[in-house]
Amino acid sequence: MGIVRWVLPILCLGLLRVAVPAAAPPPYYAIRDARIVPVTGPVIERGTIVLSDGLITAVGTSVTVPPEAEVIDGTGLTVYPGLIDALTTIGLPDTEPPQAATDAPGGPPPQATPSPGGPRRPASRGPEDRPGSTPWQRAADNLDTDDRRIVRWRSAGFTTAVVASGRGIFPGQASVVNLAGERPGDMVVASSVALPVSLQPQRRSAGRSAGFPSSLMGVLAYVHQVFLDTQHATRVAEAYAKAPRGQKRPEYDRTVDALAQVLADGRLVLLPATNRTETLRMLDFARELELRVALYGAHGAYEVADEIAAHKVPVLLSVKWPERPKDADPEADESLRVLRLRDRAPSTPAALTKANVKFAFYSDGLETPTDVLTNLRRALDAGLARDAALRAFTRDAAEIFGLDDRLGSLETGKIANVLVTDGDLFDEKTTVKLVFVDGQKFEPVAEPTRPDEKPTTSEVDGDAQGGRP
């Protein structure tokens, strides 16, 4: 009995010690005496920004700092809104980005295929089989918080991404996520913002034919037919809902039903267009079907910037500039059209700016954020103004997806996604000092020498409070 009397208190003390959590990081941060670039207003050469419980609560020259805030000396530092990658697969398992190029130099990259252990569907015979169509799926429902690219992109100043699968013609709905969170749900800013469309034909695989549609024209016809079917099904459903008695009920079509809901919600339809011909085709397509669209890819938009502006269509511009394939035959001749596109593509952002076309940048499968910023500098060299480049990575990206009320600028009440650098963002020698995602502070980690390596830091998985990456 005596042993029990002294053993039980010790056990209870041990349990209490395990149960008591470590001290949480401060809910308030203040960056004082920094150069602040709000994007939506003039630059504040020496000001303070306060982050409280995941939101921006004060920005300006005369700001009251909460006594419990962790104060960061901003002398010599510049504060920007966190950057937005406007179309990517970051955070999604084993998938390729939606493909914009249908006749790009070297041909399109291969599509992802189902895993060997997955179900094998028979080759589709026609549009009624709805090949490559899963518009009911949302990227937000398939997030992988362990994706190493999340830390890599965040360390370069990207705090938000528009993520979408690259599998299929209608691969599912794009979601907007913040690049931090213990659980997938912590990352989601908006679960559905757009519906990407890919024009890559069905591919032949081992033991089966390609099936329908196996050509570019076949894909175009299929996409056109599906949207027509959706519009027809919507009219039929509305008529049936008003007077169901005496009418045959509408047939359920999972693809059409999901598309109808996306269109009813006013979501963007993302249409691929690389060159002049494709761009004009997609603009006509959108006008005929009365779709609210954005074009993506757009390397050749410098040729048709005025036409895009006339249609009031925004653009998601890939910074993966066209280049000669590494395995191309060195003796092979290349057409003047291909060479011109390769040379002029980096001038597209400046041309879109001049035509007053709203655009945002996306990484398009580039392996590292360093590649993104390196390629962006080619656009700066081709005439793009730095303030326009910053807007494309921040405010304009948020506006295109209807999220500028919470993202894209440093304003009171918006999500505390903040990038802190030691110089101008687009200068090659500038380094990222701090990144805040949902008000959570992260220090950048070294980029691996190979993209498949883990970042070289012991802090990559974060501490108990999640205060560091």
Asked if pLDDT for residue 444 goes beyond 70, the answer is: yes
Token code pair at residue 272? 């691929």
> Do 83-111+124-406 and 25-81+408-469 have the same topology in CATH?
no
Please choose, from the candidates 29, 80, 81, 74, the residue with its C-alpha nearest in 3D space to the C-alpha of residue 51.
29
Third-level CATH fold of 25-81+408-469: Urease, subunit C; domain 1 (2.30.40)
Pick the CATH number of 83-111+124-406 from 1.10.3720.10, 3.40.140.10, 3.20.20.140, 3.40.50.300: 3.20.20.140
- pTM here is 0.84
Instruction: Average the pLDDT over 404-423 and give the result.
Output: 98
pLDDT at 326: 76
Instruction: Average the pLDDT over 314-319 and give the result.
Output: 98
What percentage of residues in the chain have a pLDDT greater than 90?
A: 66
**Residue 174 and residue 164 in contact, taking contact as beta carbons nearer than 8 Å:** yes
Q: What is the largest CA-CA distance in the chain?
A: 94
| Dihedral sign from CA coordinates of 300, 306, 307, 313 | positive
Asked if pLDDT for residue 103 goes beyond 50, the answer is: no
How many angstroms separate the Cα of 468 from the Cα of each of 163, 182, 446?
A: 23, 12, 13
What's at 72, amino acid-wise? I
pLDDT tens column, 162-178: 999 988 899 999 999 99
Asked if pLDDT for residue 250 goes beyond 70, the answer is: yes
pLDDT tens column, 40-88: 999 999 999 999 999 999 999 999 999 999 999 999 999 999 999 999 9
- Quickly state the pLDDT bin for 374 (edges 50, 70, 90): very high
Asked if pLDDT for residue 392 goes beyond 60, the answer is: yes
pLDDT at 446: 77
Residue 170: count of CB within 10 angstroms of its CB: 26
pLDDT at 17: 45
Token code pair at residue 210? 């390609």
Asked if pLDDT for residue 381 goes beyond 80, the answer is: yes
> What does 36-65 look like in DSSP terms, one character per residue?
E--SSS--EEEEEEEEETTEEEEEESS-PP
Domain boundaries, the chain: 25-81+408-469, 83-111+124-406
Please choose, from the candidates 176, 126, 157, 105, the residue with its C-alpha nearest in 3D space to the C-alpha of residue 334.
105
**Quick check: helix, strand or coil at residue 374?**
helix
Asked if pLDDT for residue 298 goes beyond 80, the answer is: yes
Instruction: Average the pLDDT over 427-450 and give the result.
Output: 90
Peptide bond just before 213 cis, omega within 30 deg: yes
Please choose, from the candidates 209, 251, 214, the residue with its C-alpha nearest in 3D space to the C-alpha of residue 233.
251
